[in-house]
C-alpha cells in the first residue's frame, strides 16, 4: 500500500508533462509518418493514399541526394572541428597552467575566457545569421573583405561561391557551438581527480602527455555525447542557413539541406505528403547516426 501511494504521488507529477510531450512531440511524429504515405497538398479536405510512392520518388530526386551529400560533409567536419577546438580550449582553461601550489590550474584569465567563449551561445540564431551576413558580404563593405582589401586582395564571395558557401556556414556553426562544449568539457575535467594530473606532472609528464594519457580517455563518454549532439546539429542547420543564404540552396545547391528542402516542398510547393516522406527519411537518418555512434564508441566504463 505504501509503495502504491508513493508511485501514485510520482505519477501525479508526470501526468501533465507526459501529456504535453505526447501531444506536441509524439503526435506530430506519428502524423508525419501517416502523411508520408499520402499526396496531401496541405489544405485539401481530400487525402489520397499513395503508399510508398513518395519514398520511391526520393530515390530519383537529385535535390534530395545533393542535400544528403551536404549533410555527409557536415557530419564529418562539424563534430570533428568543434570538438577538437573545444577540447583544446577546455584543457587550457582548466589545466593548461600546469601545477601550482596544491593543484593544477588553468591559464591566466581563464574565468574571463570562459565567458568570452560561451557568449556566442546566448545569441539567437537569427542574430548570428544577420551578424555574419555583414561579415561575409561579398564586397569591400564586408568585414572580412574589407580587411583583405587593405592588403590588396580581391573580395571573396564567401556565401556565393559553390566551393566556399558550405564551409563558410560551417565556420559560423563552429563559432557558435564551441562555447557550449567548452563548458561541457570543463565540467567533465572538473570531475577528474586532480591527483591524477599532479602525480603525472611529478613524474615529468608534459601538457601533451597529460591531455592524451589522462584527460581524453576519462572524457570519452562526454566526447561521445558531444559528437551525437553535433551530429544532430549537422542534420539540422535550418535556421542559420535560412538567414544566411535563404531557402534556394544557392549557389548551385551548395547549401541545400534536408530541413530547408522539406520546408520548401511543404509550404512553397504544396507537397506536404512528399515533404513528410523526407522528414521520415531524416528521422531515420538521425536515429541511425546516433545508434551507430553509440555502438562504435562503446567501451567499458572507467571507474575513478
What is the domain class of 55-296 according to CATH? Answer: mainly alpha
Cα(111)–Cα(88) distance, integer angstroms: 16
State whether residue 72 is helix, strand or coil. Answer: helix
List residues bridging with 104 in a β-sheet.
99
Question: Is residue 224 classed exposed, middle or buried when 0-12, 13-18 and 19+ CB atoms within 10 A define those classes?
Answer: middle
Cα(87)–Cα(8) distance, integer angstroms: 44
Phi, psi of 28, deg, nearest 5: -60, -35
Whole-number percent of the chain with pLDDT over 90: 46
Q: Are 192 and 262 in contact (CB under 8 A)?
A: no
Range of weakest confidence among 101-115, 140-154, 160-174, 262-276: 101-115
Strand 98-100 vs strand 103-105: parallel, antiparallel, or unpaired? antiparallel
Would you place residue 247 in the very low, low, confident or very high pLDDT band (cuts 50, 70, 90)?
low
Cis previous bond, 192, omega within 30: no
Range of weakest confidence among 71-85, 95-109, 110-124, 211-225: 95-109
pTM of the model: 0.85
Residue 17's pLDDT is what?
Answer: 85
Q: Are 185 and 193 in contact (CB under 8 A)?
A: no
Task: Show me where the domains of the chain are located.
Answer: 1-26, 55-296
pLDDT at 107 over 80: no
Locate cell 567563449: which residue?
Answer: 117
* Most distant pair of Cα atoms in the chain: their distance: 82
Amino acid at each position: 500500500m505504501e509503495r502504491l501511494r508513493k508511485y501514485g504521488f510520482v505519477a501525479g507529477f508526470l501526468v501533465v508533462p507526459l501529456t504535453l510531450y505526447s501531444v506536441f512531440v509524439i503526435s506530430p511524429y506519428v502524423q508525419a509518418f501517416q502523411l508520408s504515405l499520402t499526396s496531401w497538398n496541405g489544405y485539401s479536405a481530400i487525402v489520397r493514399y499513395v503508399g510508398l510512392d513518395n519514398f520511391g520518388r526520393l530515390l530519383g530526386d537529385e535535390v534530395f541526394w545533393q542535400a544528403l551529400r551536404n549533410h555527409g560533409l557536415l557530419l564529418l567536419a562539424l563534430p570533428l572541428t568543434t570538438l577538437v577546438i573545444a577540447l583544446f580550449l577546455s584543457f587550457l582553461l582548466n589545466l593548461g597552467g600546469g601545477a601550482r601550489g596544491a593543484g593544477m590550474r588553468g591559464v591566466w584569465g581563464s574565468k574571463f575566457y570562459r565567458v568570452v567563449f560561451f557568449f556566442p551561445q546566448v545569441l539567437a540564431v537569427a542574430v548570428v545569421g544577420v551578424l555574419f551576413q555583414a561579415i561575409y558580404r561579398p564586397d569591400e563593405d564586408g568585414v572580412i573583405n574589407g580587411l583583405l582589401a587593405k592588403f590588396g586582395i580581391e573580395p571573396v564571395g564567401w556565401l556565393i561561391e559553390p566551393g566556399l558557401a558550405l564551409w563558410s556556414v560551417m565556420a559560423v556553426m563552429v563559432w557558435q557551438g564551441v562555447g557550449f562544449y567548452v563548458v561541457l568539457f570543463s565540467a567533465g575535467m572538473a570531475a577528474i581527480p586532480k591527483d591524477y594530473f599532479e602525480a603525472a606532472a611529478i613524474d615529468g609528464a608534459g601538457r601533451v602527455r597529460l591531455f592524451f594519457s589522462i584527460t581524453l580517455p576519462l572524457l570519452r563518454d562526454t566526447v561521445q555525447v558531444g559528437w551525437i549532439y553535433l551530429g544532430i546539429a549537422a542534420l539540422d542547420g535550418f535556421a542559420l542557413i535560412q538567414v544566411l543564404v535563404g531557402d534556394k540552396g544557392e549557389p548551385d545547391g551548395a547549401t541545400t539541406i534536408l530541413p530547408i528542402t522539406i520546408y520548401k516542398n511543404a509550404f512553397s510547393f504544396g507537397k506536404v505528403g512528399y515533404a513528410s516522406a523526407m522528414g521520415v527519411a531524416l528521422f531515420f537518418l538521425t536515429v541511425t547516426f546516433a545508434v551507430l555512434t553509440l555502438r562504435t564508441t562503446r567501451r567499458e566504463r572507467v571507474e575513478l
